[in-house]
Amino acid sequence: MGIREYRGQNLCDRRWPDGKRFKRAYPNRKQAENMLTRIEASILDGSWKEFRERLQLRNLNKITLREFSETYMQEYCRPRNKRKTCRRKQTSLNSLNAFMGSTDMPSISPALLHNYVQRRKAKGLSDANVNHDIVTLKHLLGHAVEKGLLSSNPISNFKRLRGEQKERPRFSDQQIDNVISAVRADCRALFVFIRETGCRREEALSLTWAQVHADSRMLVFAQDTKSRKYRYVPLTDAALEAIHTLPRLRECPYVFYNPKTKDRWEHCRRPWETARRKAGVPNLMVKDLRRHFAIKLAEQGTDMKDIQQVLGHASVATTEKHYAHFSPTHSARKVLRMLQGGKSGELTRNSPSKHRSDSEVTGL
């Protein structure tokens, strides 16, 4: 660390207090020493973050994707994204940096990304994994635009791969009941609750008593949702019964807890996997309970917007993509109900049409 010669140039090499490394070559030793002095002075007076930011803005053409990816993870992902999302983005950035990490930010182009996609596909990666990388890079460059490092996102119109979508099998009520009945008693209520509310596994595991409003039969999800938005979920009789199955502990704020540790379950996977093998339904996953919940609502004529709100999807398009096709007559019934009785009209099988046909009018 410090000033050293490298390939005929003088290299200023210094680590910032957060561990990130500043390394830049200068044509003569005096310039390198001046930069080192300025860096050390900013560290002493506590202004090193602002100084580092100015250096990045001033030397835009020298910022590589690898360097900015660290800034992106530190400034955007970790404060805003969940831990699982951060890990997924870091995996994508590792793959991107292995191929184009030394590329200057302004030099990233659709052509370069096309080459990256071809190489990843040649290694046998699925379209879904490649799409994760594309989305991560798009968002990273969008963050660079927000910071003023780029004037526009060069790959904003880059299309994702259209991989084959494999539909999960649909399980019957009886199959689901058999698996839940086979779950051991101390954690069975957790899976009953997921089936009755359509919430995600992590949302159920992190559920606290403060979120339960038994008087209004309502559940409030606020912080531990995937979208981090407030969501209200109605509680059925079975859901309320599941909530009150285990005795409430003063020292534990969680509704569903491990009786041995007196704390929340970490993931509670093994009891479910054992139960589905016993019940003879080895392919049934916990997330299939959420799908079953939404499909039943769609088939009963529930509006997709309402299903979206209960499930916590960011867009109704996501809800329609995954659940509407299970009820192909849903849209037709909705239009017919509007034509026959307006928004509040009820459709009955034997209700006469308000408009007579041409043959009735003419008597033919």
Confidence at residue 5, expressed as pLDDT on a 0 to 100 scale: 84
The most confident of the ranges 52-56, 235-239, 358-362 is 235-239
Residues 275 and 194 in one domain: yes
Residues 73 and 54 in one domain: no
Residues 267 and 203 in one domain: yes
Query: Exposed e or buried b for every residue in 56-79, given b needs 16+ CB within 10 A?
Result: beeeeeebbbbbbbebbbeebbee
Residues 187 and 279 in one domain: yes
How far apart are the C-alpha atoms of 263 and 273, rounded to whole Å?
A: 21
Within a domain: 72 = yes
Q: Name beta bridge partners: 160.
A: none
When divided into structural domains, the chain yields a total of 4
pTM higher than the cut 0.75: no
Confidence at residue 77, expressed as pLDDT on a 0 to 100 scale: 92
Q: What is the CATH number of the domain that holds 205?
A: 1.10.443.10
Residues 139 and 73 in one domain: yes
Within a domain: 325 = yes
Within a domain: 69 = yes
pLDDT tens for 331-348 read 676 677 778 765 444 444
Confidence of residue 190 (pLDDT cuts 50, 70, 90): very high
Within a domain: 163 = no
Average of per-residue pLDDT across 249-277 = 93
Q: Which of 250, 265, 284 is the last residue of a domain?
A: 284
Residues 304 and 279 in one domain: no
Confidence at residue 59, expressed as pLDDT on a 0 to 100 scale: 59
Structure tokens at 283: 């392919």
Confidence of residue 164 (pLDDT cuts 50, 70, 90): low
Residues 45 and 84 in one domain: no
Q: What is the DSSP string of 174-193?
A: HHHHHHHHHS-HHHHHHHHH
Residues 262 and 295 in one domain: no
Boundaries of domain holding 121: 65-146
Within a domain: 153 = no
Within a domain: 214 = yes
How far apart are the C-alpha atoms of 343 and 132, rounded to whole Å?
A: 41
End-to-end CA distance of the chain: 99
How far apart are the C-alpha atoms of 249 and 209, rounded to whole Å?
A: 10
Confidence at residue 357, expressed as pLDDT on a 0 to 100 scale: 40
How far apart are the C-alpha atoms of 301 and 327, rounded to whole Å?
A: 9
Q: What is the CATH number of the domain that holds 104?
A: 1.10.150
Residues 261 and 188 in one domain: yes
Q: Which of 284, 309, 333 is the last residue of a domain?
A: 284
Q: Which of 95, 130, 146 is the last residue of a domain?
A: 146
Within a domain: 161 = no
Within a domain: 77 = yes
